């Protein structure tokens, strides 16, 4: 919540709109109005004091480098006594650079905290370059995030980018199909015609990932939603890397798998079953899921990282094994990032 300035004196109607955290500044006013203005200011201060006691935030410092490993910091507050807390603040003071994965991790964490407190999560102390990137990614369009902006910061009118696909909210298969068509058009621009197979594999990978994310984000498989974005990085040697990030704050991989495989022990086992063995939570079958995703990554020399619950898994194309990592903090839903080289 950015600081607001309240001017008392010549415009008393503004005072009635005061909210917690305001600072009182006195404007020049006629002597006849001074007594009324001071009395009004005193009443407002008393109201603010009471409201602040009832309305308290808890601040979480976002790690400078946000990854599957460091994402625990976004949820460590779940181990604290949050009685009396009304909303969560994410402080980006240490952050100078963000990636598609970082955006997905902090967006899904914000959705989790909003759902817990029924209050938008405040993002503050954001570096101007990072804030510009967030604006370009359409973060401000998410109703569960409230971004604090410096008074002198001006939002730009961005042209269509040739290196990224902005954050999209996908709630059903129809929206997924629309996003995939848009992505195919972008890939036609990003990759040369000689990379036709790569384009097809990327589109297939995105389709399967988004459908899996929608599946794992809801209890009944029909009301889920996921967040999706991708970005291209070009290097001086002429190579190109595409990062694709997809995530949700839903029921997670373990809950989804236990619909069909009730003996699944924990989050780590659920991730291994899904990524390495292609087991799905769909009772009626469905797409090939992560088997298709792994096959699509092969010619792209890619890597996949998936986090859900208290574990995350990393698998590199061409390897017969995956690395599994366990976490102390539970993160809701499933977050996925691919690194594809073309």
* CATH code of the domain covering residue 136: 3.30.750.24
* C-alpha to C-alpha distance for 211 and 213, rounded to whole angstroms: 5
Q: Establish if 36 belongs to a structural domain.
A: yes
Q: Establish if 273 belongs to a structural domain.
A: yes
Please give the residue range of the domain that contains residue 311. 163-342
Residues 169 and 98 in one domain: no
Centre a 10 Å sphere on the Cβ of residue 236 and count the other Cβ atoms it contains.
Answer: 5
* C-alpha to C-alpha distance for 7 and 204, rounded to whole angstroms: 57
Is the model's pTM score more than 0.85?
Answer: no
Residue-level pLDDT at 13: 38
2-6, 39-43, 45-49, 123-127, range with the lowest pLDDT: 2-6
Residue-level pLDDT at 159: 60
Residues 19 and 96 in one domain: no
Query: End of a domain among 20, 38, 54?
Result: 54
Residues 121 and 102 in one domain: yes
Flag whether pLDDT at 38 surpasses 80: no
Residues 171 and 312 in one domain: yes
Q: Establish if 79 belongs to a structural domain.
A: yes
31-40, 81-90, 168-177, 255-264, range with the lowest pLDDT: 31-40
Residue-level pLDDT at 237: 83
Tokens of 263: 């003996």
Mean pLDDT of 227-232: 89
Residues 33 and 9 in one domain: yes
Q: Which residue has the tokens 């001017």?
A: 7
Residue-level pLDDT at 58: 95
Mean pLDDT of 94-122: 95
Q: Establish if 205 belongs to a structural domain.
A: yes
Report pLDDT digits (tens) over 246-298: 999 888 889 888 988 999 999 999 999 988 888 877 665 554 567 777 777 78
Mean pLDDT of 322-331: 94
- Give me the number of domains the chain comprises: 3
Residues 30 and 95 in one domain: no
CATH number, domain at 332? 3.30.565.10
Report pLDDT digits (tens) over 59-81: 999 999 999 999 999 999 998 88
Residue 216 pLDDT level (bands cut at 50, 70, 90): low
Most confident of 98-112, 214-228, 238-252, 287-301: 98-112
Residues 32 and 140 in one domain: no
Q: Establish if 155 belongs to a structural domain.
A: no
* C-alpha to C-alpha distance for 8 and 223, rounded to whole angstroms: 48
Flag whether pLDDT at 11 surpasses 60: no
Centre a 10 Å sphere on the Cβ of residue 158 and count the other Cβ atoms it contains.
Answer: 12
DSSP 8-state assignment for residue 217: T
């Amino acid at each position: 919540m950015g600081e607001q300035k309240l001017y008392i004196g010549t415009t008393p109607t503004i005072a009635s709109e005061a909210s917690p955290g305001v600072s009182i500044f006195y404007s020049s006013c006629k002597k006849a109005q001074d007594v009324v203005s001071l009395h009004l200011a005193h009443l407002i201060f008393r109201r603010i004091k009471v409201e602040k006691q009832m309305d308290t935030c808890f601040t979480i410092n976002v790690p400078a480098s946000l990854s599957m490993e460091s994402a625990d910091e976004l949820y460590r507050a779940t181990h604290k006594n949050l009685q009396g807390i009304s909303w969560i603040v994410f402080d980006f003071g240490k952050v100078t650079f963000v990636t598609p994965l970082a955006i997905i991790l902090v967006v899904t964490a914000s959705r989790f905290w909003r759902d817990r407190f029924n209050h938008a999560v405040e993002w503050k102390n954001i570096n101007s370059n990072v804030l510009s990137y967030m604006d370009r990614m359409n973060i401000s369009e998410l109703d569960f995030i409230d971004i604090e902006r410096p008074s002198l910061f001006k939002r730009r009118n961005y042209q269509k980018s040739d290196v990224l696909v902005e954050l999209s909210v996908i709630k059903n298969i129809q929206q997924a199909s629309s996003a995939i068509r848009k992505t195919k058009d972008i890939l036609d621009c990003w990759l040369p015609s000689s990379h036709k197979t790569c384009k097809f594999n990327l589109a297939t990978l995105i389709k399967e990932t988004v459908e899996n994310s929608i599946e794992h984000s809801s209890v009944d498989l029909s009301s889920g939603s996921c967040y999706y974005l991708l970005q291209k990085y070009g290097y001086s040697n002429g190579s190109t890397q595409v990062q694709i990030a997809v995530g949700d704050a839903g029921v997670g991989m373990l809950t989804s798998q236990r619909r069909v495989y009730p003996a699944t022990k924990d989050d780590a086992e659920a991730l291994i079953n899904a990524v390495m063995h292609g087991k799905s939570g769909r009772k009626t079958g469905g797409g090939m899921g992560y088997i298709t995703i792994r096959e699509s990554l092969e010619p792209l020399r890619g890597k996949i990282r998936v986090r859900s619950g208290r574990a995350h898994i990393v698998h590199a194309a061409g390897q017969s094994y995956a690395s599994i990592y366990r976490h102390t903090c539970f993160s809701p839903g499933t977050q996925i990032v691919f690194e594809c080289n073309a």
